[in-house]
Amino acid sequence: MDHPQSLLDLVQRHVTSEHYAALHWEGSFRDYLTLVERNPAVARNAWQRLLDMIEFHGYEQPARRGGTPRWKLFDDPFDRGRDAVFGLEEPLNQLVQVFRAGAQSLGPEKRVILLHGPVGSAKSTIARLLKRGLEAYSATDAGALYTFSWHIDDEVVPSPMNQDPLLLIPPEVRPEIEKRLNKSLKRGYRLELAGELDPVSRLHFRNLLERYKGDWSRVVEHVKVRRLLLSEKDRIGIGTFQPKDEKNQDSTELTGDVNYRRIAEYGSDSDPRAFNFDGEFNIANRGLLEFVEVLKLDVAFLYDLLGASQEHAIKPKKFAQTHIDEVILGHTNEPEYKKLQNNELMEAFRDRTIKIDVPYNLSVTNEVRIYKRQFNPEVIKNPFIAPHTLEVAALWSVLTRLEDPTHPNLSVLQKAKLYGGEDVQGFTSENVREMRDGALREGMFGISPRYVQDCIAGALVMGKETIGPLDVLKKLETGLRHHSLITNEELRKRYGQLVSHAREEYEEIIKHEVQVAVAADREAVDRLCAKYIDNVKAYTTREKIIDAAGRERDPDERLMRSIEGKIDIPDSRKDDFRHELMNYIAALHIEGKTFDYRQNKRLTRALELKLFEDRRDTIQLTSLVSSVVDPNTREKIDVIRQRLSERFGYDEKSAEEVLQYVAALFARGDAKRTTPEAA
């Protein structure tokens, strides 16, 4: 009998000495050259490595032709999707294409990448995933990179900026080395051995070259190459710079500073050994440097950015320009970017940035995915989160981010549905594309997901057994009075009106679900559909209907119109619609297939609504709002509640609340007929 593994066994199974040895490989410079010749990709620059890291995780093909692929890195494979980014396929793909162009030395590698968008639009999350990706990638065989140390007279001096050992190769030899490496490199870019050694390595290289009378081969015998693992926490290859108070921050935080304790040891503050190469530009060499809220930086810092991006060089105090190899990524909010646009003195900086807009989600489905990361009903069991709670909150947040439609026959609610991929009669995918192209500001304003998440959290701690959409909508609406970012009373009023739109949509949803629950007898719907098809067939072939008693009669026009009216077929088009339907059924028959009405949502909805209307009086749903319900009616209502639970995921209490709410709507005569738009 097999015994279960202990916790220690589970850990040791994933922590092996072989894995440790691979990550801490060391060898001579000669060994490294052999390794590079076998795998030229280890000599990639930072832009090429970042691109390969993203492609290493792969992508999903777009669902529709001409759509945008989804890069799997942004699904957060490192932390079980907790930082996954949803609904931003287009800007993320644009970002990847910028990295690809930079990897091919087409220009972006000389620019600062600027993620621009409203607060809470995932700019920091994107940067965090790129940094996490580089860390993980550097620990794989595909992402391996190397640096070196000097071993001189029992002293070990690591390259302070973790430079590539290939920079030890004299410039006059590099073109031939590049040609040989690129010949066997299977990539969409070319390797280039660019840059010079940092001041410390240059000093040791020069001294050793002098000691050995110019014998380069003797110099590199003092070099020990080792595997380099990128780590933000250890400040290796990944840096983060955040603005602080101007009085407590200066440019040495970017480029390093003199180590005054070592000046006495080396006799000069211009000796590179008396300098700490620990600025963010220095430590981010070979990887990525993130500038948080980059446009809040003092102008002096932005000047450092210009040389770092354009020339790939920084200017440490008392030293010449020093080469860097890193991707510089900044992010900023709307107010700071507007200041940049209006500041003529910052024209040079604007010219050296590539701006990528990172808007809010305009898809309700993707917005829901954001909320489910934190409030997954499958994880949060108490209180019970009723169906549609997150969806209705997401709908409201998306509505706040949309411009009012210019088309007179389109509401903002219908516009949100079109953006979410739903059908609205009279509008095509081409119309949706035109709407998006004509509303460039959409998604750059509106409510942040953080506000909605805070309101959902507030509803969850109210002490109720069940929270539903109405609870969250109430929190969203009352919270607007205290929202720190909403200072415009007119805007606050508009957002309040959009709460009403979201509530009305929710009412239509639950009315439909109750209608489906009442008409949930599948056999009855099948019979109704068969009856409708028989009548349409007789009508189009000009035949008679044979009833159950064997009598001939004309097709039931009233029945056909009662169903067709619910899918918005006008009387003037009924003949065309009926012939199209019969031709479609005939074509399926020729292919050996059977017509299934359930594959047509609008027809299914119409049949269910017709059956609901036929049964509504017998159920007497409105009696729920009275104080007395007879046992027979209560039994029928219990069946409906059970169907709501089984089909739509309600628990007993939330199903009862929905029935009560819908009954009240019917009782006050608010049960307007479902339209194709609502469907």
pLDDT reading at 615 higher than 70: no
Percent of the chain clearing pLDDT 90 (strictly above): 52
**CA atoms of 272 and 275, how far apart (whole Å):** 5
Token representation of residue 273: 């050994």
Distances (CA, A) of 557 to 527, 551, 554, 582, 615: 17, 17, 8, 16, 20
Q: Is the pLDDT of residue 241 over 80?
A: yes
pLDDT in tens, 407-423: 888 999 999 999 998 88
Round to whole Å and give the CA distance between 218 and 467: 75
Domain membership flag for residue 400: no
- pLDDT at residue 147 in the model: 98
Mean pLDDT over all residues of the chain?
Answer: 88
Residue 518 pLDDT greater than 80, yes or no? no
- Residue 494 is predicted with a pLDDT of 93
User: Does residue 634 form part of some domain?
Assistant: yes
Nearest to 666 by CA among 623, 609, 611: 623
> What sign for the dihedral angle of Cα 34, 35, 38, 39?
negative
Which of 85, 97, 24 lies closest to 366 in space, CA to CA?
85
**Phi, psi torsion values for 448, nearest 5 degrees:** -75, 150
Tokens in use for 197? 């050694």
Query: What is the predicted pLDDT for the residue at 377?
Result: 79
The count of structural domains within the chain is 1
Tell whether 573 is covered by a domain. Answer: yes
Indicate whether 643 pLDDT > 60. Answer: yes
Count of CB atoms situated within 10 Å of the CB of 335: 11
E-strand ranges in 69-200 read: 70-71, 112-116, 145-152, 155-158
* Calculated CA dihedral for residues 514, 424, 414, 409, nearest 10 degrees: -120
Phi, psi of 71 (to 5 degrees): -80, 125
* 569: in domain: yes
Q: How does pLDDT run across 410-464, given as a tens digit for each residue?
A: 999 999 999 998 888 888 888 888 898 888 899 999 999 999 999 999 999 999 9
Q: Is residue 552 part of a domain?
A: yes
Q: How far apart are CA 460 and CA 440, in angstroms?
A: 36
Per-residue pLDDT tens over the stretch 344-374: 767 778 888 999 999 999 999 999 999 998 8
pLDDT of 676: 36
Ramachandran angles phi, psi of 173, nearest 5°: -95, -20
Instruction: Give the pLDDT band (50/70/90) at residue 617.
Output: low
Give the residue from 257, 354, 236, 243 showing the smallest Cα distance to 314: 257
What pLDDT score does 161 carry? 96
Most confident of 128-142, 251-265, 559-573: 128-142
Q: 528 lies in a domain?
A: yes
Instruction: Give pTM, 2 decimals.
Output: 0.84
Q: Which pLDDT score, from 0 to 100, does residue 439 have?
A: 87
Residue 108 CA to residue 290 CA, distance in Å, equals 16
- Half-sphere exposure for 574 (CA within 13 Å, toward CB): 17
HSE-up (13 A, CA, CB side) for residue 147: 21
pLDDT single digits (tens) 128-184? 999 999 999 999 999 999 999 999 998 999 999 999 999 999 999 999 999 999 999
Q: Coil, strand or helix: which one is 553?
A: strand
> Does a structural domain hold residue 385?
no
In this prediction, residue 351 carries a pLDDT of 85
Residue 29 contacts residue 165 (beta carbons within 8 Å):
yes
Tell me which of 21-35, 167-181, 285-299 is least confident.
285-299
What phi and psi, each to the nearest 5 degrees, are found at residue 466? -135, 135
When mean pLDDT is compared over 297-301, 502-506, 534-538, the highest value belongs to: 502-506
When pLDDT is cut at 50, 70 and 90, the band that residue 466 belongs to is very high
Interval 183-197 mean pLDDT: 93
Among the residue ranges 205-219, 247-261, 355-369, the one predicted with the least confidence is: 247-261
Measured CA distances, 201 to 28, 149, 162, 272 (Å): 16, 9, 10, 9
pLDDT band at 245 (very low <50, low <70, confident <90, very high): low
3-state secondary structure of 354: strand
Other C-beta atoms closer than 10 Å to the C-beta of 50 total: 25
- CA proximity to 45, closest of 190, 175, 254, 153: 190
Structure tokens given for 40: 């030229």
Per-residue pLDDT tens digits for 381-413: 889 999 999 999 999 999 999 999 988 889 999
What is the rounded CA–CA span in Å between residue 502 and residue 368?
14
Residue with the bigger pLDDT between 586 and 66: it is 586
Question: Which residue range forms the structural domain that includes residue 646?
Answer: 517-667
**pLDDT tens digit sequence for 47-90:** 999 999 999 999 999 877 778 999 999 999 999 888 999 999 99
Q: Is the pLDDT of residue 2 over 60?
A: no
